[in-house]
Amino acid sequence: MYRLLLMMVLLSGTWLPATESKPNVVIIVADDLGWGDVGFHGSSLQTPRLDRLAAEGLLCEQFYAYPLCSPTRIGLLTGRSPIRCGVVAALGPRSVGLPLSERVMSQAFKQAGYATWMIGKWHVGESTKNYLPNQRGFDHSYGPYGGGIDHFKHIGDKGGHADWYRNGLPVVEDGYDSDLYAQEVVTLLNKRKKEQPFFLYLSFNAPHLPNQAPQSYLDRYPTITDPEKKAYAGMVSAMDTAIGTVLDTLHQQQLSDKTIVLFMSDNGAPTEGAGSNGLLAGGKGGISEGGVRLPAIIRYLGVIPSGKKHTQMLTVLDVFPTLAAAVNIPCGNTEVFDGRDRWLALRDEKIIAPQPFVVMNQRQMAVIDYPWKIITPTAERGRQRPQLFDLSSDPSESKDVSADHADIMDRLTRLGKALAATAPEQTQPQPKRP
């Protein structure tokens, strides 16, 4: 009988329990970090740990998300367009939140045996307990539920009340938020069950307003005289250091080559702020490239190519199905995703046709089918007529080529209208964006 059981195990290829053979997954999200705010895109801001991550991983140069915080987070967690939920702006306390009918990534990883941790900004629903991270598949959560906070006092930007929780309970503590997030992750890594893989969603508030940084980081930029720009630079560097702390802990625990690390921003930097979107037009809240094309890196040492640029289009909607494929866990009926599994494109550099990406705000809609991008008005304040851009030769969207490509205009227009038609008739209450 023993030999028969042994033979069955050998034939099934399951020498180890499934949890021991699966890689860990770490998703790191910056808040309002622009395309031009990182060293690997030529910024003068000091981001040595992100630059090193880019050198060790794959730099995703055509990564797209939504122009505001909540829509991007909904797309990340579900693999589905937030337009289907009626969410095109930042959710506020009066908003309902990410529908409970949606299956989120943390639930899939938890069901597959992963420890699931949510550290940092949530911002996809806080109207009732059922919308909070511990009820959406996370074993452990820590940080604010809303949009922006005072980075030292942890006071929310709506109502002037503290917005700081651990597993649903209010926490009163001193400290700079980026530092506290890193410390919480280190504590979890030190206390984790060694035989159990983990899924970490680390969502920074930096460099979202207000511009605040510890003095030690302000001192790194003696030549910047503008106090807002100096504080912004300090915020970016403080976040970079916190990311380095997490990566160093993974290395110390010999987990670097057993962990998939994805870094991304949630949207571009505000055009009126201290951040930079480089040569890309527009910024946060807008659907031009500066608002939706973002810095992103993925690293899986020994599996994904290192030190290369990935120039195929990748979107925030692709993250869930791609990571599920990478770690070989079931993620439900793949037909429900608006994103697609891009794992072979990342791992093997296989050419896979891009999935058209539809993004909108309260005035305009864009459909991106790289290299083509059409922008159409959805309100009177929007552009007066649709415009088409060839992003491969015109990433700054300076030349409208719609007159030369009527067939492409028609195809992309139909794609946008089809998705917009799935939105609820009454969208969720949306306050002004922070």
pLDDT, tens digit, for every residue of 163-176? 999 999 999 999 99
Question: What is the CATH number that goes with domain 357-420?
Answer: 3.30.1120.10
Mean pLDDT of 96-113: 94
Which carries the bigger pLDDT value, residue 430 or residue 43? Answer: 43
Query: Residue 427 pLDDT > 90, yes or no?
Result: no
Mean pLDDT of 14-28: 68
Bridge partners (DSSP) of residue 324 are none
* Strand positions, DSSP E, 99-171: 115-120, 140-143, 165-166, 169-170
Same fold, 22-347 and 357-420: no
Mean pLDDT of 78-82: 95
**At 12, is the pLDDT very low, low, confident or very high (cuts 50, 70, 90)?**
very low
Going by their DSSP bridges, the two strands 259-265 and 24-30 should be labelled as parallel
Instruction: Assess contact for 23 and 259: CB atoms under 8 A.
Output: yes
Query: Residue 366 pLDDT > 60, yes or no?
Result: yes
- Beta carbons within 8 Å of 260's beta carbon, 6+ residues apart: 23, 24, 25, 26, 298, 299, 300, 323, 326, 327
The pair of structure tokens assigned to 108 is: 């899939």
Query: Residue 330 pLDDT > 80, yes or no?
Result: yes
Which run of H or E residues covers position 250? helix 227-252
pLDDT, tens digit, for every residue of 212-247? 999 999 999 999 999 999 999 999 999 999 999 999
Domain ranges of the chain: 22-347, 357-420
- Beta carbons within 8 Å of 167's beta carbon, 6+ residues apart: 134, 140, 141, 142
Any long-range contacts for 153-158 (C-beta under 8 Å, 24+ apart)? 157/434, 158/92, 158/93, 158/431
Which carries the bigger pLDDT value, residue 322 or residue 158? Answer: 322
Query: Residue 203 pLDDT > 80, yes or no?
Result: yes
Whole-structure pTM value: 0.92
Mean pLDDT of 68-83: 96
Radius of gyration of the chain (CA): 21
Cis peptide bond upstream of 395, omega within 30: no
**At 333, is the pLDDT very low, low, confident or very high (cuts 50, 70, 90)?**
low
**At 180, is the pLDDT very low, low, confident or very high (cuts 50, 70, 90)?**
very high
* Strand positions, DSSP E, 237-284: 259-265
pLDDT, tens digit, for every residue of 265-320? 999 999 999 999 999 999 999 999 999 999 999 999 999 999 999 999 999 999 99
Residue-level length of the chain: 434
**At 379, is the pLDDT very low, low, confident or very high (cuts 50, 70, 90)?**
low
Mean pLDDT of 342-361: 93
In this predicted structure, which of 64-78, 321-335, 376-390 has the lowest mean pLDDT?
376-390
Averaged pLDDT score across all residues of the chain: 91
DSSP string, 358-387: EEE-SSEEEEEETTEEEEEESSTTS-SS-E
pLDDT value of position 160: 82
Question: What is the CATH number that goes with domain 22-347?
Answer: 3.40.720.10
**At 421, is the pLDDT very low, low, confident or very high (cuts 50, 70, 90)?**
confident
Mean pLDDT of 319-337: 87
Q: How far apart are CA 29 and CA 41, in angstroms?
A: 17
Query: Residue 399 pLDDT > 90, yes or no?
Result: yes
